[in-house]
Amino acid sequence: MEFTKPKSIEKAFQHLRAFTIIVILLAFVFCGYVVWRSGQEVATAQHQIYILSSGKALEAFASDRKENIPVEARDHITNFHEAFFTLDPDEKVINANLAKAMYLADGSAKRLYDNLKETGYYAGVISGNISQQISVDSISLNLNSYPFYFRCFATIRIIRPTSIVTRDLITEGYLRDVSRSDNNPHGFLIERWNTIQNRDLKVEMR
């Protein structure tokens, strides 16, 4: 009878040891699950992209950014041309639009801007109460080689107090990848931008 109590204590320790081992194993399993789940969440987050629409960031999901390159590239090209060619007889509006355009292209756009400024084009827009609007009709994009070659087809309307001039505009250039930012949300930069054609289509008297 004197051995009953020690045996009970030893049995209780065995149960406690088994329980402790089970708790430790469960803790390892839980930690492993947390690590695996975190990895899954990170992988999912890396496939998220954000599209700017009317000044708002809209979240979208994609399995690979390559699938979205045509859409983002065309939007980048459109945004650049709209910012560069949209003019009103207001120096602040002109400067704001051109500053936005300069973030989306390299020195080739800056050179054209400097040439237009030196010839008094922007001063003429302001003094003549002229507005200029652009509509991008289509964009041809070659993704088979990098940097990506593009050709942009657009229509420009120059609204003067006495007439409206419609012009046919064709430009070309290349796109290379850069870091995304608030000023460049698509992460592209236009290089070697060049005007192929810019001719009058019609003139309407007002």
pLDDT digits (tens, 9 = 90+) for 97-146: 999 999 999 999 999 999 999 999 999 999 999 999 999 999 999 999 99
Q: What is the mean predicted confidence (pLDDT) over 52-77?
A: 70
Separation between Cα atoms, residue 194 and residue 206, nearest integer Å: 32
- Assess whether the previous peptide bond of 147 is cis (omega < 30° from 0): yes
When comparing pLDDT for 41 and 73, which is higher? 73
pLDDT at 63: 45
Query: Is residue 62's pLDDT more than 50?
Result: no
Query: Is residue 197's pLDDT more than 80?
Result: yes
Chain centroid to CA 5: 76
pLDDT digits (tens, 9 = 90+) for 139-189: 999 999 999 999 999 999 999 999 999 999 999 999 999 999 999 999 999
Terminal C-alpha separation, the chain: 119
Query: Is residue 48's pLDDT more than 80?
Result: no
Which one-letter amino acid corresponds to residue 139?
I
Query: Is residue 82's pLDDT more than 90?
Result: yes
DSSP secondary structure, 125-178, as one string: HHHTT-EEEEEEEEEEEE-SSSSEEEEEEEEEEEE-SSEEEEEEEEEEEEEEE-
**Which tokens in the block code for residue 69?**
């390159």
Separation between Cα atoms, residue 113 and residue 129, nearest integer Å: 19
Residues 137/120, Cβ–Cβ less than 8 Å = no
**Which tokens in the block code for residue 123?**
């001063």
pLDDT at 26: 83
Predicted model pTM: 0.69
pLDDT at 17: 79
Say if strands 56-61 and 48-53 run parallel, antiparallel, or are unpaired: antiparallel
Separation between Cα atoms, residue 117 and residue 95, nearest integer Å: 11
Separation between Cα atoms, residue 17 and residue 46, nearest integer Å: 44
Maximum CA pair distance of the chain?
A: 121
What is the overall mean pLDDT for the chain? 86
